[in-house]
Structure formats: structure tokens, C-alpha cells
Amino acid sequence: MWSSLPYDLLATIFSYLPPDAFARARSVCHLWHTCAKLYNLQSVSQHHLAWFLALPTRNRGRRCYLHNPVADKWHLLSLDFLPDPVRPVCSIGSFLLSRPTNSTILQLVLCNPFTRQFRQLPLLNISRTNPAVGVVVEGQAQNGPYPHFIIYVAGGMSEEPHGGATYETTVELYDSRQDKWQIVGPVPVEFAVRLTVWTPNECVYIKGMLYWITSARAYSVMGFDIESNTWQELNIPMANSMEFATLVPRRSGRLTIVCGKCGSDAAFVMELEDDETWYVSEKVPNEMGKRLLGGKESWGSTKCVGVNGAMCLYREIGSGMIVWREAEDGSGGEWSWVDGCRFIRGEQVQNVAIKGMLIHPSLASSWMC
């Protein structure tokens, strides 16, 4: 029966397989391999939960760790196809946007860690050190293998014509369809300073605005209106009492912050209403917070990463994670605990600091070829 199925029907069935099962299926026979290659299975990642991808923050070789949420299993994946070690910036559907760690000047690399394909993006018009980076994914390919995306780079340090360095007060844009950078507007110098010194790469896009959050108390949010090329700052309640705070995307379309309170095991999710008031929409279960903190009342080394429908709070690779996932009908969400990665195939994994991303795996061939 399976050998007589039309390619389009077989491809639809394949699209519901998780990536590891799909990899096995396409190697079963020539018919299935041809089908997988012919249809490219652009929707293969859309039916499945995002995987957690973790890269060690220090230079410990070109590799990453992946958690499969369906099988609740950790994997070790080599990144030796990349010419240099990288630091992740964000995920774009099935791709990882990152920057090489061997240069202070920003250079961006796009790769699919599952197909071992990569591509270096063109150099920016202005060489910058430590700018803020934000990404807007256009169209229906939010979780697909062929997204159209736009990257915004703001602030950073650039060299003066006669020596020395200065804060860069421009915004550059990269469009994946045009494959080039262009300068699109100014950055007020006070924003350029804060984007360069106090802002990590985490950024969210909501209703025409890109948002970054400062990386230390007192926390505040900086917003960039893409259409008008204007900047604004938003204050956060209890900004002085937060020990960590991270922006995450939500399907609600509201600006959302995940944060932990100083001297407490309490962590919660705050959303910004249309009238610009903040409210607590979710609370991290206390027992999970205590477990993540290991009995200490300090959120200082905690990080959080999110995509639409999911977010993870984590520390080191072996510390475990607190995961929130939205219900399929969008009626709410559920918190769960994921054990950290301590052993892979019987070998102990060193407990190191990591930078995590949520990524939708895809084994489809890409336009990077």
C-alpha cells in the first residue's frame, strides 16, 4: 500500500513526522527518499514543538546540545562544518543566526545545524562592535525552512576617520531577498550608548516595533518604530527589584517580560496592556523556581528564551529547565520541568554555562546551497 501512495499524499504524511523519525523514513527506500527530496517538505517543522538548542558560552569546540521535547531526550550535535566557533544571536525558523567569536566586528552567519549548511551574510556598510541586533520574519514561513527575513542592526562602536572610536548613530537593514545591507535611519546618541553598552542581543518584534531590554538594573525597554524610524523608552514596574529580565514573544501580540525578583524564588511573566499598564499574566511555580535555583534565592545567572507558544528558563546545561508551552487551542499554557543534560550515550556532560535558543528543526534542503 505504501509503495502505491501518490507523492503529494506521502509528503503530507511525512510532514507530520518529527525530524528524527523523518530522517529515518527518507532512508527506507528509493521512493520515499525521492518524495522527500522532490517536495522538500517545507512544512515539516510547522507541526512540531520547537527544540531547545544550547551552545556553551565559552569556547569549548564547535558543538551544541539539543533537547527533543517529544522524546524528552538530549542530543550532541557537531558544528564542525562552520569555519569558526559562533555565538548565537537568534533563531529564524529552522535557521540559527549567529556571529563568529573570533572577531569583535559584527559578522553574521546563518546556518541549519541539522543539514550542516551555512552561509555568511554580506558585511555591513559600517563596521561595528557590539551593536544591538533585531530580526523581523516576514510571511507565512515563521517556522518553515525558507523564511523571508529582515535584520536590523543599531548602535555599536565604529572607528573614527582619524583614529579612535565613537558610538555609531545609524540603523542598518539587511533584506534576505535583496541580500544586501542599507542604512535606513538615525539612532539618537543616548539610545546608541545604551544599545551598545547595556543591551544584549535578545529582541522581539511586535506590531511594527522592535524592542530591546537593558541588561542590568534598573531595567527599561527601548523600542524602534520601523515605519517612522523613531525611538522610545518604556519604564518597567519594579525595575530596581528584578534580578533578571528578558523579553519574549507571545501570540497575544503584547510586549512580554519574564523576570525574577531579588532575594526571592519568585519569577513571573508580565504583559503590557494597550493602555500601557503592566500586569502579571503568569507565575512560575514556586517548586520549579526553587529547583532551578538549587536552593538559593538568586536569579542572577538565569536566562530565558522564547518563541510564539513556548519559553524556557535555564542556567547551566546540567541544571534543568522550566518550560512553558501554550495549549493547542490557545486557551492557556502549562509549566513543566525538563532535566538538564548530564549524560549523552553514557558519557558525562560537563556542567557549563550556555546560551539557549528555541528552533524548529528541518531537514529540508535550503536556498543556502
Comparing 197 with 182, the larger pLDDT belongs to 182
Quick one: pLDDT at residue 28? 75
| Nine-digit cell string for 22 | 523523518
Task: Give the tens place of pLDDT for each residue, 9-29.
Answer: 666 667 667 666 776 777 778
Q: Which amino acid is at 238?
A: M
| Nine-digit cell string for 320 | 534543568
% residues pLDDT > 90 (the chain): 59
Rounded distance, CA 96 to CA 356, Å?
Answer: 11
Task: Give the tens place of pLDDT for each residue, 183-234.
Answer: 999 999 999 999 998 877 689 999 999 999 987 777 889 999 999 999 999 9
Q: Which amino acid is at 164?
A: G
**Structural contact between residues 137 and 153, judged by C-beta atoms closer than 8 angstroms:** no
Quick one: pLDDT at residue 44? 46
Q: 142 pLDDT band (50/70/90 cuts)? A: very low
Rounded distance, CA 14 to CA 29, Å?
Answer: 14
Q: 128 pLDDT band (50/70/90 cuts)? A: very high
| Nine-digit cell string for 115 | 543539514
| Nine-digit cell string for 104 | 569583535
Could you say which DSSP state residue 145 is in?
A: S
**What value does the mean pLDDT take over residues 93-112?**
92
Comparing 46 with 355, the larger pLDDT belongs to 355
Residues 6+ apart with CB under 8 A from 39: 7, 8, 11, 14
Q: Which amino acid is at 49?
A: L
Phi, psi of 182 (to 5 degrees): -145, 145
Judged on CB neighbours under 10 Å (0-12, 13-18, 19+), 88 is buried
pLDDT surpasses 70 at 105: yes
Judged on CB neighbours under 10 Å (0-12, 13-18, 19+), 132 is buried
This prediction's pTM: 0.88
Q: 278 pLDDT band (50/70/90 cuts)? A: very high
Q: Residue-wise over 27-57: b if at least 16 C-beta within 10 A, else e?
A: eeeeebeebbeebbbbbbbbebbbbbbbbbe
